C-alpha cells in the first residue's frame, strides 16, 4: 500500500531524543528555546512560542488578542474543526464565509462583506499547503483594526512573493505526525508583536511570570524537550522535504491535469503540498475505494464542513453564515444559510499521496491508477 501520509524520521531524530533522555531535562528548557529561535528565523518573525499542539496555538492566539464572548471571528468552514472549536471555547461567534473554488481558502470579497461592528478577528486557513490571499486579508485587517490569525498547520515554509506564512498575522502551526514536519504532537505561535508573544508564554505556563508567581489565569500547554529535539532535527530537513513534495506534486500534475482537476497554484505563491488534492465530480467514494484496492491510499479532507458538524449545529444560534450573494449574515439555524462552494468541494475533493518518502515507482503507480479510474 502506498500510504497517503508518512512521517520521515531517521538517525538524526533518534540521536536528538537520546540526548534529551541522557540529560535528564525532559520538560520545557533549552531545546524548546532553541527550537523557538530557529522557527522564528524560518518564518522571518521576531517571536515564536512553542506549545503542546496546533490546537493549543489557535486557542492561545485567540486569548492573547482578548477575543471572547460576543466577539465575531470570520473564518472558513472548509477545514479541520480545531479552529472553530477554539473560537467557540473562548465564547466568541464563528462567522463562516465561502471559499475560493480553486485554492479552497477564504474568499476575501466574502470576508469583507461579513465584517460587522462586532468583528474582532479574521482567521484564515492555509489549506492543503496553499496560502490564503494574505495580502488582501492583511489589508482588511489593517483597514478595520482587526486581529489577523493564520492557521498555518498545513503550510510550513509556504510563502507569497517570498514572504513566509506566519509573518502576515499571528501564525499558528501544528507539528502533528502527518504534517510537513513533526514533533509527534506540538505547535508554535509566531508573531512580530512582543506583547502577543509574552501573553502566549504566560498563558501556556500556568500564567507564571516567574516560578510560583502567577500574574494571570493560565494553562499547562507547554512543549517538552523531547518534542523540541525532534522539531530541531526535522526543521533542518524541512526545505528538502518541501522541495520533494513540490517535485512530487509537479509529477502528478503533469500526468493528471488532462484527466482530473489538479491543484491550482496562484502566481507568486509557494504551495507546499501537505496534501495533493484533486476533484472528483462524481463517485468520489468509489474512486477512493477502488484506488485503495489497487494499492494507492487516499484521504477525504474534509467530507463534512465545520458548519454542518453536529457540535456546531447544536449551537445554531451561536454562529453566523454569509451565503454568497447575500448582504447580511444569517444565523446558523436559518435553512437558507449555506456555503455552496464549500459544500461542493466537500463532496468532491480527494487527496493522493505526495509525501517525500514516495519513490518514482510510487508516483508512476499513483498516476497510472488515477488515469485508469478516469477511463
DSSP-assigned states of every residue in 324-372:
TT-SS-EETT-TT---HHHHHHHHHEEEE---TT--HHHHHHHHHHHHH
Q: What are phi and psi of 155, to 5 degrees?
A: -140, 35
Contacts of 238 (CB under 8 A, 6+ apart): 42, 156, 157, 180, 181
Does 220 lie in the same domain as 83? yes
Using CA atoms, how far apart are residues 145 and 161, in angstroms rounded to an integer?
Answer: 24
Number of neighbouring beta carbons within 10 Å of residue 267: 6
Using CA atoms, how far apart are residues 82 and 61, in angstroms rounded to an integer?
Answer: 13
Using CA atoms, how far apart are residues 192 and 183, in angstroms rounded to an integer?
Answer: 24
Last residue of a domain, one of 186, 217, 235: 235
Question: Is residue 298 in some structural domain?
Answer: yes
The predicted structure's pLDDT at residue 333: 86
Does 256 lie in the same domain as 118? no
Question: Is residue 1 in some structural domain?
Answer: no
Region label for 128, one of left (φ > 0), alpha (ψ between -120 and 50) or beta (otherwise):
left
Does 246 lie in the same domain as 182? no
Question: Is residue 110 in some structural domain?
Answer: yes
Does 155 lie in the same domain as 53? yes
Does 183 lie in the same domain as 84? yes
Question: Is residue 316 in some structural domain?
Answer: no
Domain around 146:
11-235
DSSP state for residue 99 in the 8-state scheme: B
Last residue of a domain, one of 207, 235, 263: 235
Question: Is residue 94 in some structural domain?
Answer: yes
Does 50 lie in the same domain as 144? yes
The predicted structure's pLDDT at residue 325: 74
The predicted structure's pLDDT at residue 309: 97
Contacts of 294 (CB under 8 A, 6+ apart): 369
Q: In angstroms, how far is CA 227 from the centroid of its own chain? A: 19
The answer to whether the CB of 82 falls within 8 A of the CB of 179 is no
Does 144 lie in the same domain as 43? yes
The predicted structure's pLDDT at residue 107: 97
Does 67 lie in the same domain as 20? yes
Q: Could you tell me the CA-to-CA distances from 174 to 42, 150, 169, 274 in Å, in that order?
A: 15, 12, 16, 12
Is the pTM above the cut of 0.85?
yes
Region label for 12, one of left (φ > 0), alpha (ψ between -120 and 50) or beta (otherwise):
alpha
Does 294 lie in the same domain as 214? no
Q: Going residue by residue through the chain, which has 375 residues, state the pLDDT in tens, using 9 for 90 and above.
A: 999 999 999 999 999 999 999 999 999 999 999 999 999 999 999 999 999 999 999 999 999 999 999 999 999 999 999 999 999 999 999 999 999 999 999 999 999 999 999 999 999 999 999 999 999 999 999 999 999 999 999 999 999 999 999 999 999 999 999 999 999 999 999 999 999 999 999 999 999 999 999 999 999 999 999 999 999 999 999 999 999 999 999 999 999 999 999 999 999 999 999 999 999 989 999 999 999 999 999 999 999 999 999 999 999 989 999 987 777 899 998 888 899 999 999 999 999 999 999 999 999 999 999 999 988
The predicted structure's pLDDT at residue 375: 82
The predicted structure's pLDDT at residue 113: 95
Number of neighbouring beta carbons within 10 Å of residue 18: 11
CATH of the domain at 181: 3.40.640.10
Question: Is residue 186 in some structural domain?
Answer: yes
Residue 341's nearest CA partner among 80, 95, 98 is 98
Last residue of a domain, one of 235, 256, 283: 235
Structural domain count of the chain: 2
The predicted structure's pLDDT at residue 328: 81
Residue 154's nearest CA partner among 137, 169, 134, 174 is 174
Amino acid at each position: 500500500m502506498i500510504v497517503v501520509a508518512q512521517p520521515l524520521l531517521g538517525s538524526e531524530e533518534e540521536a536528538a531524543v537520546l540526548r534529551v533522555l541522557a540529560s535528564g531535562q525532559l520538560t520545557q528548557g533549552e531545546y524548546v528555546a532553541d527550537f523557538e529561535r530557529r522557527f522564528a528565523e524560518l518564518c522571518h518573525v521576531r517571536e515564536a512560542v512553542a506549545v503542546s499542539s496546533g490546537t493549543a496555538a489557535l486557542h492561545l492566539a485567540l486569548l492573547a488578542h482578548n477575543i471572547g464572548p460576543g466577539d465575531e471571528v470570520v473564518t472558513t468552514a472548509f477545514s479541520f474543526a480545531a479552529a472553530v472549536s477554539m473560537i467557540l471555547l473562548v465564547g466568541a461567534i464563528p462567522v463562516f464565509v465561502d471559499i475560493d473554488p480553486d485554492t479552497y481558502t477564504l474568499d476575501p470579497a466574502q470576508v469583507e462583506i461579513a465584517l460587522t461592528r462586532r468583528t474582532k478577528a479574521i482567521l484564515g486557513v492555509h489549506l492543503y499547503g496553499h496560502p490564503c490571499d494574505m495580502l488582501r486579508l492583511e489589508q482588511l485587517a489593517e483597514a478595520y483594526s482587526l486581529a489577523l490569525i493564520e492557521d498555518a498547520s498545513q503550510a510550513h515554509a509556504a510563502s507569497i512573493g517570498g514572504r513566509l506564512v506566519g509573518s502576515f498575522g499571528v501564525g499558528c502551526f501544528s507539528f502533528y505526525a502527518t504534517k510537513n514536519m513533526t514533533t509527534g504532537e506540538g505547535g508554535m505561535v509566531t508573531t512580530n508583536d512582543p506583547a502577543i508573544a509574552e501573553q502566549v508564554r504566560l498563558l501556556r505556563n500556568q500564567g507564571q511570570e516567574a516560578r510560583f508567581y502567577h500574574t494571570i489565569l493560565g494553562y499547562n500547554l507547554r512543549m517538552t524537550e523531547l518534542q523540541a529535539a525532534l522539531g530541531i532535527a526535522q526543521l533542518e530537513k524541512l526545505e528538502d522535504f518541501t522541495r520533494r513534495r513540490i517535485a512530487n506534486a509537479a509529477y502528478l500534475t503533469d500526468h493528471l491535469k488532462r484527466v482530473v482537476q489538479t491543484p491550482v497554484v496562484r502566481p507568486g505563491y509557494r504551495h507546499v503540498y501537505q496534501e495533493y488534492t484533486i476533484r472528483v465530480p462524481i463517485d468520489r467514494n468509489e474512486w477512493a475505494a477502488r484506488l485503495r484496492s489497487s494499492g494507492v491510499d487516499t484521504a477525504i479532507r474534509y467530507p463534512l464542513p465545520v458548519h454542518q458538524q453536529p457540535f456546531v449545529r447544536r449551537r445554531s444560534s451561536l454562529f453566523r453564515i454569509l451565503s454568497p450573494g447575500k448582504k447580511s449574515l444569517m444565523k446558523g439555524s436559518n435553512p437558507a444559510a449555506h456555503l455552496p462552494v464549500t459544500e461542493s468541494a466537500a463532496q468532491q475533493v480527494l487527496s493522493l499521496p505526495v509525501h517525500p518518502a514516495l519513490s518514482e515507482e510510487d508516483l508512476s503507480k499513483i498516476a497510472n491508477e488515477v488515469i485508469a479510474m478516469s477511463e
